[in-house]
Structure 1
Amino acid sequence: MILPRPVSFTPGEGDVVWDGSIESRLTLDGPSGAYRLVVGPGVVVEAADEAGLFYARQTLRQLAGPDSFRAAPISREPVRLPVCVVEDEPRFAWRGVMLDVARHFLPKHDLLRYVDLMAVHKLNVLHLHLTDDQGWRFECKKFPLLHEVGGWRPSSRYGDRRSGGQTGRPHGGYYTQDDLREVVAYAAQRHITVVPEIDVPGHSQAAIAAYPELGVTPGGVWTDWGVNPNALKADEATVDFYRQVFDELLDVFPSEVIGLGGDEAEGGDGRFVRRIAQHLVQRGRRPHGWDEVLDVGPLPTTTVVASWRGEEAGLTALDRGHDVVMCPEAHVYLDYRQGAGEDEPIPVGTLLTWEDVYAYEPAAADRVLGAQTNVWTEHLDSPRRVDYAVFPRLCAFAEVVWSTPARDVEEFRARLAGHHLPRLDALGVEYRPLTGPKPWQTLPGVPGFPR
């Protein structure tokens, strides 16, 4: 009944009434996040650290039943727990979710909610894609036009970019620095690290709209999807501008790892990426880039590489001494379509079911830092649409990165349907049902581009 599946679950006989108290000890010899939970007659937790205690509490919520995930008690009946022993520890150090808040802004309340949903699934890295061609979401006090001008666009592409349609509806928003400090602190309480990303030198049209001198070609905040050929200039003035932007970012985000993007820059510029990477290292941080950064010339060995175009680049990065996060689009892109039916809303990308995600096994699993799902939001314009795209596929991914690779899809299906989906119901998650979308989750007439 536990998801992600623990290393071992030993049931006892009967159950016990739980008053909410826990006898906890930081005496367990194990990796960060490891814990041993004993239920009966009381509840005793031994953990390797505070993270282990936190994950044990998540397991207790699961054992207590779906109503334990509601915002307030709805029953006067006592909470009963099955007598058992649970021994558990995470498989990977990096169990991440990349959330694109640049294409469609996710208000702070909903961003905090996603931190909670990650915590339920024992995920521990929230990678925030804060800037792109379609929007700039980070308040920059030295260069305020970045968020004041770059933070909104007059329209958005209607469905897939090949359709040629536009919504005609303005879209925008940005997080103040204090908003983001709040998100970082809230996540830290749940043992989640927030890794920010400001994408350079491509995916920068929103910044160019605010400060045209930064770009090779001037232009407004982009209202289209896809790869924009416009990129930042590689001159020293533009690099220095971004050094100052990243300095503000570092003041807000304490994460050791800081994202600089580096992807899909047509004709890219290795000098720009290298100079920003060096600046981050000089500030005591570790650069993080998409796998295209491997092509820009020598990078600091501390650079973390996100292997998204497949896994070959990740293997190359390992051979060069980099830490690697596997996130190949064919396996973990949660904006891709979930069904082959015509009722699938805005069907883009390859077919990727929850069963496909569950079957994913990261290459070089014994050498990589971990893995993450990527949630791009070109076609996810509301929290309800994000819920539909992410769940229950994120549940399957959570088990991949937490539990041992021995997996049984039918056993997982039974746990998912019988135990975990009711928890999502209690949390108010509007997931895609296993049988297909509900009528109000479809978007008839909105064009997609299935591959």
Structure 2
Amino acid sequence: MKKLLTLICACVVFVSSAQNQYNIIPLPQTVTPQKGQFVIKSNTNIVVSTNDPAFKQVASMLADQLGAAMGTTPKVVSSNSKAVSNSIQFVKNDQLTEEGYTLNVSSKQVSIAASTGKGAFYALQSLLQLLPNQIFSKEKSTGITWSVPNCSIADAPRYSYRGLHLDVGRHFFPVSFIKKYIDLIALHKLNNFHWHLTEDQGWRIEIKRYPKLAEIASKRSQTVVGRAYSKKFDGKPYGGYYTQDEVKEVVAYAKARFVNVIPEIEMPGHSQAVLAAYPEFGCNPDKIYQTATDWGVYEDVLCPREETFQFLENVLTEVMELFPSEYIHIGGDECPKKQWKESRFCQEIIKRENLGDEHGLQSYFIRRIDKFITSKGRKMIGWDEILEGGLSPNAIVMSWRGTEGGIAAAKENHDAIMTPGGYVYLDHYQADPKTEPLAIGGFTTLEKIYSYEPTPTELSPEQQKHIIGVQANVWTEYMQTSDYVEYMVFPRASALSEVAWTKKELKDYSKFSERMKVHADRLEKLHVNFFKGFLK
């Protein structure tokens, strides 16, 4: 498997950054090349011309990265002067948008302007990509001229929401990998990490009020071998969860890189692991549930009793104490209704609340949770199934079953995030399945992702404003290792970053492909196990 994951063409040749100097991904809105270069020397200073601590934080990041690569760390100093020669200077400009920046490079100085630390951080990512690629190596590089080509860049993102998802319910990944994943999100100017923490196959977050979630729900007795429903199992217990201290560590790490971490706690479906620990929240409380050992969708779902809502509110309260994110994801997808149809209690609720049917009951369930999350000053996100039975008042829809869910939400004046399976699901094959590791199916190439246009033309200009962004999703049924995740995610997430950041009229796949040859070298130096078939 390892050989298959690292399969590459023996004669891959990476294009040197000297050959094409402006290989920034995602592509900025404007890049104006100029003659000459700025050379970073041992006495070059990093100057911060603002008291904003976020700018000082970004300046320190730059100093640390230069220091690791050059062997000498530039000084970070404060100065009110805007014309300090032989310096890389950070200036605050309140006229720029929240995530926008300008980056001006002359032979005397590099000047970065932004209105917030976010903008300064994204300018830093562009600056690093203008430097020789050895800047991304974890080891000191000798014999390198640390130069930046002269240019003028004015930049800002197309969408405010730019996300990358990771499912840790099917397979669990250590904190060290989660941090690396966040680093790669930040490098690509994405700003949301959607952390899918609970599933039928495993609950991955410590909830102190309900210790059996860690003791029981985080573990499964074995795992299916090969494809789902193969009826072959490995017979090996599997488990893992993040302690609350680890979650805090990850959230703080992401915050320092201007990445928002969105937790997902699945409900009312995809909850068999919960019922293995707390069967009283199911429709058959006397049943002996087990954490799922196969992939797929399970009929065992949460029952909308008051005790269940109290459980979920208690869980979400602890989750919201750990995650400062404005957005809280509650899943809401793929909830079979069979047990609700057979439950006298559920049918009584449908009749009492005049809900019509089980789809109305799902809407009732989601509205209850939406009201609670809203009362805490947060916003609820759900997969597009939350549209069934009527959309909850404050919900944001994540449209995965095509684009219809996002279109319907926008027409009802709800915000939507576009994440259609046919374009941005990174668990799909990216090359001939005969030559690739096992995947769930589908076929989504780098070019196909790059071609995706998130804003539907069916919407009016006013409705289009409700399409707040785009996200790629990574479901890990067949991704047992972090190497495998990297292989499936990159370089396709690089294409997604340009879909999310760059104006539609500036996109050009052939030019993107050329820049990706240089970006591939960066990924190599960052020790990312990416798919290299696109370099052939």
TM-score by length of 1: 0.93
1:270 aligns to 2:369 (yes or no): no
Cα shift at 1:16: 2.0
8 A contact 1:26–1:50 mirrored in 2: no
1:77 maps to 2:176:
no
The reply on whether 1:402 has 2:424 as its aligned counterpart is: no
Q: Which runs of 5+ in 1 are unaligned?
A: 438-451
1:55-66 superposed matches below 5 A: 55-66=122-133
Residue range with higher mean Cα deviation, 401-410 or 89-98:
401-410
Q: Which of the numbers 489, 513, 521 marks the counterpart of 1:413? A: 513
Aligned-pair CA distance for 1:272:
2.2
Shift of 1:343: 1.4
| Alignment correspondent of 1:213 | 280
Given the alignment of the two structures, is residue 2 of structure 1 paired with residue 69 of structure 2, yes or no?
A: no
**Partner of 1:447 in structure 2?**
none
> SS state of the match for residue 325, structure 1?
strand
The residue identity in structure 2 corresponding to 1:412 is F
Shift of 1:169: 2.4
Tell me how far 1:165 sits from its aligned partner.
2.1
Counterpart Cα distance in 2 of 1:290 and 1:416: 32
- In 2: Cα distance, 1:171 partner to 1:124 partner: 31
Per-residue CA shift, 1:86-125, capped at 9, x if unaligned?
Answer: 1111111000011111111111111011110101000000
Q: Deviations over 1:202-240 (max 9, x none)?
A: 000111001111123441100011111110111111111
Within 1, Cα distance between the matches of 2:39 and 2:533? 33
Does 168-177 or 83-92 show the bigger shift? 168-177
Q: Map of 1:323-338 to 2, 5 A cutoff?
A: 323-338=415-430
* 2:111 corresponds to 1:11: no
Residue identity opposite 2:304 in structure 1: A
Verify: 1:247 aligned to 2:295, yes or no: no
Equivalence for 2:300: 230
* Distance (whole Å) between structure 2 residues aligned to residue 86 and residue 386 of structure 1: 33
The worse-fitting range, judged by mean Cα deviation, of 138-147 and 163-172 is: 163-172
Structure number with greater Rg is: 2
How many residues get paired? 435
Q: Deviations over 1:156-202 (max 9, x none)?
A: 12222142222222221111111111111111111111110100000
Cα RMSD (Å): 1.5
Counterpart CA distance in 1 for 2:224 and 2:535 is: 26
CA contact (8 A) 1:216 1:233 kept: yes
Counterpart residue identity of residue 111, structure 2: V
**Correspondence for 1:347 among 439, 446, 453:** 439
2:79 paired residue number: none
How far the C-alpha of 1:435 sits from its partner, in A, is: 5.0
CA contact (8 A) 2:363 2:392 kept: no
339-348 or 304-313, larger mean C-alpha shift: 339-348
With 305-314 and 263-272 compared, the bigger mean Cα shift is at 263-272
Residue equivalent to 1:444: none
Deviation at 1:434, TM superposition (A): 2.2
> 2-side partners of 1:117 and 1:339: how far apart?
23
Match of 1:102 among 138, 152, 169: 169
CA deviation map 1:356-375 (0-9, x unaligned): 00001113365411010000
Identify which of 233, 236, 240 aligns with 1:173: 240
Q: What secondary structure is seen at the aligned counterpart in 2 of 1:161?
A: coil
Q: Which residue of 1 aligns with 2:343?
A: none
Partner of 1:33: 99
Check the 8 A contact 2:329/2:380 in 1, yes or no: yes
How far has the Cα of 1:298 moved from its partner? Answer: 4.5
Post-superposition offset of 1:76: 4.7
Cα distance in 2 for partners of 1:357, 1:67 equals: 28
Alpha-carbon shift at residue 129 of structure 1 (Å): 0.7
Mapped partners of 1:209, 1:341: distance in 2: 36
The answer to whether the 8 A contact 1:130-1:136 is kept is yes
Contact 1:274 1:296 in 2 (8 A): no
Asked if the contact 2:331/2:382 (under 8 Å) is kept, the reply is yes
* Code of the aligned partner of 1:390: V
TM-score (norm 2): 0.79
The whole-number CA distance in structure 2 between the counterparts of 1:172 and 1:20 is: 48
**Secondary structure class of the residue paired with 1:163:** coil
2:488 to 371, 374, 389: 389
Q: Is the 8 A contact 1:339 1:436 kept in 2?
A: no
Identify the residue that residue 213 of structure 2 maps to in structure 1.
146
Task: Quote how far apart the aligned CAs of 1:253 are.
Answer: 0.7
Deviation of 1:430 (Å)? 0.3
| Structure 2 residue 388 is the aligned partner of structure 1 residue 295 | yes
CA distance in 1, matches of 2:444, 2:423: 7
- SS of the residue corresponding to residue 227 of structure 1 reads coil
Amino acid at match of 2:113: E
Which residue does 1:256 correspond to in 2?
326
Q: Which moved more, 1:69-78 or 1:248-257?
A: 69-78
> C-alpha separation between the residues in 2 aligned to 1:223 and 1:131?
14
Mind listing any 5+ residue stretches in structure 2 that lack a counterpart? 1-22, 47-87, 338-358, 457-463
Note if 1:48 corresponds to 2:115. yes
Counterpart CA distance in 2 for 1:316 and 1:77 is: 54
For 1:170 and 1:55, how far apart are their aligned partners in 2?
43
Q: State the alpha-carbon separation in 2 of the partners of residues 303 and 332 from structure 1.
A: 22
Shift of 1:20: 6.2
Distance 1:197 1:296 in 2: 22
Counterpart of 1:38 in structure 2: which amino acid? N
Identity of aligned residues (%): 41
Q: Which residue of 1 aligns with 2:454?
A: 362
Q: Describe the shift of the 1:296–1:216 C-alpha distance in structure 2 as closer, same or farther (beyond 3 A).
A: same
What one-letter code is carried by the residue in structure 2 that aligns with 1:257?
A: Y
How far apart, in 2, do the equivalents of 1:339 and 1:298 lie?
Answer: 38
Moved over 3 A (4+): 364-367
Please show how residues 312-327 of structure 1 align to structure 2 within 5 Å.
312-327=404-419
| CA contact 2:131–2:148 (8 Å) conserved in 1 | yes
